[in-house]
Amino acid sequence: MNITNQDLRAAVGAGMISEAQAASLSNLAQARLGAVQATAEIDEPFELFKGFNEIFIVVGLSILYVGWMGITGLSIWANDVGNGLYAALYGVVTIAVIALLARYFTLTRRMVAPSILLAVFTGLASLQLGYGFSNMLDMGDGMAASLIAAIVFVVQLAFWALFRVPFSMLILGLSAFFLVSSFFVAGNNGFPDFEDVFLLSGQGPFSIITFVLGLIGFAIAMRFDMSDPHRVTRRSANGFWLHVIAAPAIVNTVALTLFTMDTIAAHVILFIFLMLMAVVALVINRRSFLISGVGYVVALSVGLFDDGSAAGFAILAVGLVLVILGAGWEKFRATTLDGLPNFPGKDRLPPWGLNNGVSE
């Protein structure tokens, strides 16, 4: 059963709803219908703010937070004996205040940018809380890192469970990596360098952790995506932020390892891997895998030529390909998916072409 504008006007006339409520319902229905219809030539929904008022509120919240941290920070460091206790106490108070703000800006006002900022503030406050506890317990660096990462993860998970802010998924992914990695730091493996995080030939297990957690994040993101193929709910937004962190974890780990081998065979395999990631990006309709691999494509293109001008033309060609791919994304995606055989979950991918998500 569909409710029309005439039905809404009749409901207003009967005194069942107000004119403002009728207008809100009509706007919501049109927005959802437009989102579904636009999926045929879909662009990944991406929203950081809905209006300049949100930016205004973000500025205010930022100043408020800086002022609060300035006051509490001075109080903490002025009490050297109990600074761990003060840090933990202020961390709890900060998280409680953030929860009250999120209840208004996220649940009541449905604002995007303030909700993202409050998720970030929650992460920072939980860092402070974790530091306070580790200081009170006089932990070593490794154990302190584990405790802090665990607290950040648990608090952020609770924040997401209460307020369903999609950006929390990115913070959860980062904190999960630091939590798992911290166990090895506590085991006297030491803190990793940047290369160790992505290079499979690096020291310690950190690159393997990055790759495995990237795959786990990708699997969870796909679960969100497949539950909302038309991308009209926050489930797909959850998937978006997980893809943002999962794609670099997967692509950089494999690509950087192959690129640093500096052999023809490794570069050929790297090129094939990047092409495979491009196909994955088209199939699942997520461009994050392409963005993660662009730098390596440019580096490979430059490496093929000793002459600077030739390398410049190679970079120009890469840029041209990306522009063409972006401009004709849906056509390329439809061609790719129509050319692939049926596979589990294909009917739950975002619709493509004229087949509306069903391959021939």
Last residue of a domain, one of 191, 223, 258: 191
Last residue of a domain, one of 142, 169, 191: 191
What CA–CA distance (Å, rounded) separates 167 from 116? 6
- Write down the pLDDT at residue 69: 84
Question: Do 54 and 114 form a contact (C-beta atoms < 8 A)?
Answer: yes
Task: Indicate whether 160 and 124 sit together in one domain.
Answer: yes
CA 89 to chain centre: 30
Task: Indicate whether 165 and 298 sit together in one domain.
Answer: no
Can you give the residue range of the structural domain that contains 10? Answer: 1-41
What digits encode the pLDDT tens for the residues 64-121?
A: 999 988 887 655 555 554 577 888 888 999 999 999 999 999 999 999 999 999 999 9
Band of residue 148 on the pLDDT scale cut at 50, 70, 90: very high
Give the pair of three-digit tokens for residue 327.
Answer: 């401009």
Name the DSSP letter for residue 271: H
Place of tokens 């990306």: 322
Number of domains in the chain: 3
Task: Indicate whether 76 and 177 sit together in one domain.
Answer: yes
Task: Indicate whether 317 and 204 sit together in one domain.
Answer: yes
Task: Indicate whether 52 and 111 sit together in one domain.
Answer: yes
Task: Indicate whether 134 and 246 sit together in one domain.
Answer: no
Mean per-residue pLDDT of the chain: 82
Task: Indicate whether 204 and 349 sit together in one domain.
Answer: yes
Angular region, 286: left φ>0, alpha ψ -120 to 50, beta rest:
beta
Task: Indicate whether 203 and 332 sit together in one domain.
Answer: yes
Please tell me the least confidently modeled range out of 171-175, 221-225, 309-313.
309-313
Per-residue pLDDT for 269 more than 50?
yes
Task: Indicate whether 210 and 235 sit together in one domain.
Answer: yes
Per-residue pLDDT for 40 more than 50?
no
Last residue of a domain, one of 165, 191, 217: 191
Type of residue found at 216: I
Task: Indicate whether 172 and 218 sit together in one domain.
Answer: no
Please tell me the least confidently modeled range out of 30-34, 203-207, 241-245, 316-320.
30-34
Task: Indicate whether 187 and 286 sit together in one domain.
Answer: no
CA 134 to chain centre: 29
Task: Indicate whether 6 and 37 sit together in one domain.
Answer: yes
